[in-house]
Amino acid sequence: MSTGNDVWKADATSNIYDYKLIQFRLEHLAEVRDSGDVAELIYLLRSGLLRNLGGIGDPRLFSRSYLGTKSLIEDYLNQVVTQLQYIQRNDFEVLSPQQKVEFFHDTRQSFGNTALLLEGGATFGLFHLGVVKALSEHHLLPRIISGSSVGALIAALVCVHTEQDLPCIFQPGGINLKAFAKKGIKGNITRKITRLLKYGYLMDVKVLEDCVRSNVGDLTFEEAYARSKRVLNITVASTRKYEVPRLLNYLTAPNVLIWSAACASAAVMGLYESVDLLAKDNYGNIVHWSPSAISWSDSSCESDSPEIRLAEQFNVNHFILSQANPYIAPFLSKCPQGQGDSLSDKLFIFLSSEIRHRLHQLAQIGLMPRTLQTLFEQRAQGHITIAPPLSSMDFYQLFSNPTYASLNYWILKGEQSTWPFLSFIRSRTKIELALDKGNQ
């Protein structure tokens, strides 16, 4: 029996996307494939591979069913992947092995890459683990991952593990929390208040360093890339006034220790003390990466966006954002079809734009601290944005030390928040993944 969703999927017509263009492309690809003209097929693929061709990536096309979209769009994507596999798996007289390599390389470069961004969140940042778990289990986890603040800790943990080893961290006891367990719960609030009044920050960064180091080890960015082939990016900023934030990865900081970079990124003003970046020298000794006079901290309050650097260094043009910042996440839609379209999203965009404008005006006349100004300049949404549903009790635990119970709670919440987006993500990355296989 056909449901209303089945009827909607079977009906190709819609004013949301150019269904006539997609129908023409689908038929043309099939005709050229049947003719056996490989040169023409390659020309056709090279000239029309766009992630959002004809508007097929519009979130509204995923408003009727979480299990797919218009059948015409699915057929088109499947046809493109089939033709790419046909070229990859067969030999042709008109296409030398070198030309085949160049075809996949150039087409991949033109199509662009997807990156997963993990944005902050204090304790809410554990939510990122659930997002990663859901994407990994459905073979949709991007190879390029960038993290800031608590998101940097999760990105580091993920990127030091291979595809085969990654599921282990989601198992009971898969993440070592002994460093936090040593502190215990008794007197937790009193310790934090005392530390804040005496030193200016709530949390003990030494405990964080012990925890991250016990899970990540003394791997550098270059060593982690060689092990997992994942491109880890961590954003940090110098506490010097005119230092620009830096995107650390295996290209820009190959010898920097990942655990020190992750802790530096998590050093939010008032939450953790600023830390030094450490690196391995040519003999494997651990040394300061930069002069000790420079300390490093969270870059989420810097206006120089990591997305720009990811685009420059890794050809990223598509961002999946896991957004756990407590002052942003509550206002975001929790399903793909509502992103940017719901009343709350429109109100949030309007208010944040107005606040940014007013803060910029105050900054121009010297009346606004730069930290407050740039707080609202962060990217709140990506091409796909996954945010957790938050309750009042969640905010009560915002600065609590992680426990295995809280890990399970946030992993499940991350998975549940990601599931509605899986079909949307699969549609937007299907061709990219096929091109990746062709490049291997």
pLDDT at 353 over 90: no
Q: What is the DSSP letter of 279?
A: E
Instruction: Note the pLDDT tens digit of each residue in 25-79.
Output: 999 999 999 998 999 999 999 888 899 999 999 988 987 776 889 999 999 999 9
What pLDDT sits at residue 187?
Answer: 45
Distance, CA of 152 to CA of 166 (rounded, Å): 17
- The structure tokens listed for 362 are 């105050």
Instruction: Note the pLDDT tens digit of each residue in 283-301.
Output: 989 998 865 444 544 454 4
Residue whose pair of structure tokens reads 């005496």 in the numeric block: 198
| Helices and strands in the chain: count of H runs, count of E runs | 18, 9
Of 8-17, 178-187, 285-294, 304-313, the one with minimum mean pLDDT is 178-187
The pTM of the full predicted model, rounded to 2 decimals, is 0.86
pLDDT at 245 over 60: no
Those residues with Cβ within 8 angstroms of residue 164's Cβ, 6 or more apart along the chain or in another chain? none
* Run of H or E residues at 319: strand 316-323
* Cβ atoms of residues 149 and 119 within 8 Å: yes
Distance, CA of 247 to CA of 253 (rounded, Å): 9
Cα dist from 311 to 234, 272, 317, 395, 437, whole Å: 15, 30, 6, 34, 21
**Residue 188 pLDDT level (bands cut at 50, 70, 90):** low
User: Is 333 marked active-site?
Assistant: no
Pairing of strands 296-298, 231-238: antiparallel
Residues 210, 298, 345, 394: which is the catalytic one? Answer: 298
* Cβ atoms of residues 219 and 132 within 8 Å: no
Residue 238: Cβ within 10 Å count? 20
**Helix ranges (DSSP H) in 52-185:** 71-89, 97-111, 127-137, 150-159, 178-181
- The structure tokens listed for 130 are 């659930």
User: Is 149 marked active-site?
Assistant: yes
pLDDT at 416 over 90: yes
Give the total residue count for the chain: 440
What sign results for the dihedral spanned by CA atoms 322, 328, 329, 332? Answer: negative
Those residues with Cβ within 8 angstroms of residue 114's Cβ, 6 or more apart along the chain or in another chain? 142, 144, 316, 318, 319, 320, 428, 429, 432
* Cβ atoms of residues 386 and 323 within 8 Å: yes
What pLDDT sits at residue 293?
Answer: 43
* Cβ atoms of residues 318 and 117 within 8 Å: no
Residues 149, 274, 297, 299: which is the catalytic one? Answer: 149
What pLDDT sits at residue 302?
Answer: 47
Q: Coil, strand, or helix at residue 332?
A: coil
Could you state, in order of their start, the residue ranges of all structural domains in the chain?
A: 4-111, 115-325+385-420, 331-377
Q: Spelled out in words, what is the top-level CATH class assigned to the domain 115-325+385-420?
A: alpha beta
DSSP string, 355-408: HHHHHHHHHHTT-S-HHHHHHTSS----SEEE-----HHHHHTTTPPP-HHHHH
Q: Coil, strand, or helix at residue 38?
A: helix
